[in-house]
Amino acid sequence: MRSIPLVVTAGLALFAAACSSGGDLPAADDFIPDTATAMREVESVRFDLTVDGEVPGLDVKAADGVVTADGSAEGTGTLTAFGMDIEAEYVIIGEDAWVKGPTGGFQQIPVGDDLLPYDPTLLLDTDSGVATLLEAVESAAPEDTETIDGVETYRYAVEFDPAAFATLIPAEGDWNAATVWFDQETSRVVKAEFAQGDATVTLLLSDYDEPVTIAEP
């Protein structure tokens, strides 16, 4: 029998490994329900939302801050209001919100006002948050492992139920497909990236369950 040269054997092995990069990841049917459970148990999280390009229906260019499961949040953001990009600070406590623009102090406004077009407390909302979105996954496929900000993650290609996604992020169009990175140890979301055309929405989540105190300004 003719022997296969070692270099060819090694090349075939590398090719096989490259084609099965998701082979060492947990099966989606087993892992995704665990991620939903893990996210439903979160008490607080720091988030960083960035929007690259035009996303109809989402009048936010960037936002960051901390969110708690009891419906409070505080942070900063760049939003589009009255045809202009405005840098603002915000505080949300239940149904009450306060926003501080480039000048002046905080003013109290209702959640959903033009000065606060996106409510970040939705991220941990029990009915429409990240956990609910993960419970409405239509399909998911493991892709690879990756380190994100020092965290070892599993990367999956995920398609969500469009209605569930629209409740969490009010972007017009087919934005329910995403790449999602999950912490290998905790199964929590580390990063999610949604893209359509030339626009991309990126969400980073970190500092889970750190002590947080959010007070009226």
* Mean pLDDT across 114-129: 89
Residue 84 lies in a domain: yes
Share of the chain above pLDDT 70, in %: 88
Residue 188 lies in a domain: yes
Residue 70 lies in a domain: yes
Residue 176 lies in a domain: yes
Residue 2 lies in a domain: no
Query: Which residue is associated with the tokens 């909302």?
Result: 125
Q: pLDDT by residue (tens digit) across 143-173?
A: 999 999 999 999 999 999 888 888 887 777 7
Q: What is the CATH number of the domain that holds 80?
A: 2.50.20.20
Residue 211 lies in a domain: no
Name the strand (E) or helix (H) holding 29: helix 28-40
Q: What is the pLDDT of residue 163?
A: 83
- Which residue range is the domain that position 194 belongs to? 26-206
Q: How far is CA 131 from the centre of its chain?
A: 11
- Confidence grade of residue 6 (pLDDT, cut at 50, 70, 90): very low
Number of helices and strands in the chain (H, E): 4, 11
Residue 200 lies in a domain: yes
Residue 10 lies in a domain: no
Q: pLDDT by residue (tens digit) across 37-70?
A: 999 999 999 999 999 988 877 778 899 999 999 9
Q: Number of folded domains in the chain? A: 1
DSSP per-residue string spanning 163-197: HHHHHHS--SSS--EEEEEEETTT--EEEEEEEET
Count of other CB atoms within 10 angstroms of residue 95: 9
- Confidence grade of residue 18 (pLDDT, cut at 50, 70, 90): very low
- Mean pLDDT score of the chain, rounded to an integer? 86
